[in-house]
Structure 1
Amino acid sequence: MSPNGARPVRAHASVDNLRTYLLAAARRDPDRPAVIQAAADGGLETVTYGELERRVDRLVDALDALGLDVGDRVILESDTNADAVATLLACATLGLPFTPTSPEVPDERLLTIIDSAEPALHIQSDHGQRTGIPETVGTARFGPGGLTVERAPAPRVRRRRVVTPIDTAYITFTSGTTGRPKGVVMSHRGVIAFLRGAEAARLVTAEDRVANTSPLQFDFALFDIGLALGHGATLVPVPRARLNWPRRFLSYLRDAGVTQVDGVPSVWRPVLRHESDLLAEMGQEGVLSRITFSGEDFPLDELRRLQELLPKARFTNGYGATETMAASITEVPNPLPPGTERLSIGYAVAGAEMMLLGSDGSPVDEPGTIGEIYLRSPSLFSGYWRDPEATRAVVLPDPLHPGSGQVVFKTGDLAHMGPEGELYFRGRVDSQVQIRGNRVELGEVERRIGQFAGVTGAVAMVLPREDGDPLLHAFVTCAPAGPAPDTREVLAFCRAALPAYMVPHGLSVVNEFPVTVNGKVDRTALAAHVAS
């Protein structure tokens, strides 16, 4: 506070701020489309960069009037749309770290996040239906007309005047080993460092229209927003309801003139099963020029089929963790060369470096030898929210230059090096399980089962048994028109290539794998399938 008790002037954004970086196109070409989205009348509406900036400024004025200080947290609950983007950019302008969440998040999980983050304000869209926000938290709604405050946040004391690059841009909460969501704190500098490094991959041009298929709470959605707006391109959020209907999904892409689709690999599975002909038509048109995927392994049979339907498209494999936004962006040959068994995750984005270390901490230089990935990167997260112990476990002194004060990120991911120094992902350190004293990598079991004729997908996991001996169980999906695979034949197929302790004890055929709101396989739901 100033000596006379008046609050300081509004904190202003530094050069390296999400707002200034992502709205640079508003100054260069304000009439360029920033967002194309579903309109209330069922059609499409376009929000230009100039209009997006005006919406940001209206929200900045409204948020500033609430007296929040730099560092005060805001929960932003919404599907991805122009107003949600404007709201997060308004928060960035004022130095208010936002935590993106989705309307699909269960009440209990949201309340756990609120308990951890202690936000000053919860904001949802005009159409949001969330209730039960604790009275200690202010509530508001946003829309095209700006911000409507329902319950003002508790009075704050403003002590800050400038939003610096090292201030927190956002906090995303991911699943944690303790059963409570774990908050990943990302600074403005970290996010922008990654986005600038990604520019060298030339994924997007200003003429592209980038379809976002991930929920706002998933860091892949923030990647999409940053990638599109950072290049002066157009973001095209796909309505969540459209993703569940392959024909509606593809029709939306076509109507919006989408040139690039970003998403987890499983977003394509329903399309491949039910609308391959329509996708093939779009492939012949050549409008879809790039498919970018990340977040999980892309089953190679599904990837090959997708490439057959989109022969003119370029494919990109993104790899990385929430703690660094991502680490590498690698071009995937279309078509995949015969005999390809694994996709390369290539090299780190410009300005970063991945290295492999063995269990003894020494560098792994021999091609084919598995080590853990450690990442040097300017986009490293600030730490886990209120969990310095967990932060110290993964942010370590650079093992090659321990006296420099430089730190690296211990990813927990395993990889081996190819002949040109490129890396190949080999699973998680913590996905290794012990079966009768033997170490088992679940990904290897899944890959073997996935090679069985008629199997279109496989998930292996360890289930508890009453006698305490872990049970290795597999779940598979199969081609819709084909017969269900015979359990005995699948297990015999596994025995032909795997040690006895890596052969599943049981097999379940499911119509499709349940997925979380982030589009990844829901292993908890699969385990419940066996228990029921």
Structure 2
Amino acid sequence: PKGVVVSHRSIIDYIEWILNEDKICPKPDDIIGNQSPFYFDNSVLDIYLCFFKGIKLVIIPEEKFLFPKDLLQYLYTKHINYIFWVPSLLNNIAKNKILDSSKPKFQKILFAGENMPTKTLNYWMENYPGTTFANLYGPTEITVDCTFYIIDKTFKENESLPIGTSCRNTQVMIFDESNQLITKSNQIGEICVRGSCLSLGYYNDLEKTNSVFIQNPLHQKYEDRVYKTGDLGYYTADRHIILTGRKDQQIKHNGYRIELGEIELALGDFDAIEGVCVVYDEQNSIIRLFYESKKEISKAEIFNHLKDKLPKYMLPQEYIWLETLPLNPNSKIDRKALKTFKKESK
């Protein structure tokens, strides 16, 4: 695994940004429930907010996350009301409707690390109408998060959730393939970041560091580092950023350029599907859709749902049902495992 060297300055700057955002800053009597392992960058928020604010941090036992009902009871017993989790864990609770029977007293729910399904968010917001929800975004290389969006409206289940606007002391820009700055709405490009949030690079790997921490393409007047995230996105009309996927999830299939994330989004309002991941088999030129649901759904039913939303060239060739999508150690959907999945589709 890559080692990212993050400076004390960047961590202090990150935490001071949160402390100055009233809507997501914890109060003196809040109790944070830590989900992220300490090797995962999301834990930086939990640990240093605890120190900076002098508030209580509960390190939730890892096994609690295997049993959502027990987890919620544990949160309630410990009076945890502030969490910063990955969406997959929030989805595990939502798909089983566990909040209907057990409901901790959350005041602030932050999430980051992967796309939050709008269907999952709507379930949580229905159960916590007075709670603050925020979508945070950022790779480890920019010290945890560089954009945020405080949820202030209801989204349709097939709508994308914005990652919002830049955090303090951070500039987020979008460049096209020619390194030209994108300013227009709805034009997809690579998300790039500059500011005091940037890490120092990769430990013992200058070649990799110099390939993604580059001189600002907008000028050559002085050293001005910009980090190329590898994530793709675009501006909405109100200048929020929508994340569409990663460059390595943008494929060329039968001559067409396809964003795999668009296929996943098109299934966001399919009620029976509780989780979805689309991968591309380069060797066999196959778009393969994995979905999680309580029972197997016919290929025809999924196809009929997608055919009016996507052009024919974007429709998956294989549909594979799993009772549970695999998660990696950081509790995100394990796309690498699904890329090498051997089960034959029916």
Q: Normalized against structure 2, the TM-score is what?
A: 0.92
List aligned pairs for 1:27-66, cutoff 5 A: none
Q: Specify the alignment match of 1:104 in structure 2.
A: none
Q: Specify which of 232, 240, 246 is matched with residue 62 of structure 2.
A: 240
How does 1:438-477 map onto structure 2 within 5 Å?
A: 438-464=256-282, 468-477=283-292
Matched, 1:196 2:8: no
Distance 2:291 2:158 in 1: 22
CA contact (8 A) 1:366 1:417 kept: yes
- Offset at 1:208? 1.3
Q: What amino acid is the match of 2:101?
A: L
Written as runs of structure 1 = structure 2, the 5 A alignment for 1:94-113 is: none
2:257 counterpart SS class: strand
2:158 and 2:266 in contact (8 A); partners too:
no
> What are the ranges of 5 or more consecutive residues in structure 1 without an aligned counterpart?
1-180
| In 1, Cα distance between equivalents of 2:90 and 2:239 | 30
Q: Residues 351-370 of structure 1: matches in 2 within 5 Å? A: 351-370=169-188
Give the whole-Å Cα distance in 1 for the aligned partners of 2:135 and 2:315. Answer: 30
- Single out whichever of 267-276 and 256-265 deviates more from structure 2: 267-276
Residue of structure 2 equivalent to 1:393: 211
- Aligned pairs for 1:409-488 within 5 A: 409-464=227-282, 468-478=283-293, 480=294, 484-488=296-300
* Cα drift, residue 242 of structure 1: 0.8
CA deviation map 1:113-139 (0-9, x unaligned):
xxxxxxxxxxxxxxxxxxxxxxxxxxx
The residue aligned with 1:295 is: 113
Query: In 1, are the aligned partners of 2:147 and 2:164 still within 8 Å (CA)?
Result: yes
Deviation of the 1:270 alpha carbon = 2.7
User: Match of 1:493?
Assistant: 305
Give the structure 1 partner of residue 79 of structure 2: 257
Find the structure with the greater CA-based Rg. Answer: 1
Would you say the 8 A contact 1:192–1:379 is kept in 2? no
Query: Aligned partners of 2:93, 2:87: CA distance in 1, in Å?
Result: 11
The aligned counterpart of 1:332 is: 151
**SS of alignment partner, residue 101 of structure 2:** helix
Mapping for residues 338-357 of structure 1, pairs under 5 Å: 338=156, 341-357=159-175
Q: Deviations over 1:235-290 (max 9, x none)?
A: 111110111111221111111111111110111233221523234x44xxxx2101
Count of matched residue positions in the alignment of Structure 1 and Structure 2: 340
User: What's the Cα RMSD here?
Assistant: 1.9
* Alpha-carbon distance in structure 2 between the residues aligned to 1:214 and 1:485: 33
What is aligned with 1:503?
315
Cα offset for 1:309?
A: 1.5
Identity within the alignment, %: 29
Task: Determine if contact 2:290/2:319 at 8 Å carries over to the other structure.
Answer: yes
CA distance in 2, matches of 1:505, 1:469: 11
C-alpha offsets along residues 164-218 of structure 1, whole Å, 9 cap, x if unaligned? Answer: xxxxxxxxxxxxxxxxx11111111122122222322232222211111111111
Q: How far did 1:338 drift? A: 4.9
Return the structure number with greater relative CO, CA threshold 8 A, min gap 6: 2
The separation in 1 between residues aligned to 2:99 and 2:90, in whole angstroms, is 10
Secondary structure of the 1:403 match is coil
In structure 1, the residue corresponding to 2:119 is in which secondary structure? helix
Whole-angstrom CA distance in 2 between matches of 1:227 and 1:356:
30
Matched with 1:276 is 99
Structure 2: which 5+ residue stretches go unaligned? none
Q: Against the structure 1 CA distance between its residues 217 and 472, is the aligned structure 2 distance closer, same or farther, given a 3 Å change threshold? A: same
Query: What amino acid is the match of 1:328?
Result: T
Letter in 2 for 1:347: T
TM-score when scaled to structure 1? 0.61
